[in-house]
């Protein structure tokens, strides 16, 4: 199963991801620091960030989690469709 942290005002995307079988940790609007901390705690396959994606990615890199991709909302569904075996949360 794919797990993502979803940050921003994106309830429709959260529903669509869940409908596709993705485990979604939905933070809603949050600071880059909060998003990065949530990602460290939840160990997601990716972070979908509506805003400040570059800051979130930089924080994750500084926190030794640069392997977690930060994805724009417009690219999230495509990423999920192609993620397949690259994820690390099998069920």
- For 9-65, the DSSP string reads S-HHHHHHHHHTT-EEEEEES--HHHHHHHHHHH--SEEEESS-HHHHHHHHHHTT-
Q: What is the mean pLDDT of residues 61-75?
A: 96
CATH number of 3-85: 3.40.50.280
Average pLDDT, the chain: 92
90, pLDDT greater than 60: no
Question: Residue 87: is its pLDDT beyond 80?
Answer: no
| Tens-place pLDDT, residues 38-65 | 999 999 999 999 999 999 999 999 999 9
User: 83 pLDDT exceeds 90?
Assistant: no
Measure the CA–CA gap between 71 and 48, rounded to whole angstroms.
5
For the record, the structure tokens of 82 come out as 């192609």
Q: Quick one: pLDDT at residue 62?
A: 97
The pLDDT of residue 91: 41
């Amino acid at each position: 199963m794919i797990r993502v942290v979803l940050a921003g005002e994106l309830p429709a995307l959260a529903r669509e991801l869940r409908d596709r079988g993705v485990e979604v940790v939905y933070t809603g609007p949050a600071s880059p620091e909060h998003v990065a901390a949530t990602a460290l705690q939840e160990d997601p396959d990716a972070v979908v960030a509506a805003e400040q994606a570059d800051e979130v990615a930089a924080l994750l890199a500084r926190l030794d989690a640069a392997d977690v991709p930060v994805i724009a909302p417009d690219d999230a569904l495509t990423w999920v469709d192609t993620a397949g075996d690259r994820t690390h949360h099998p069920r």
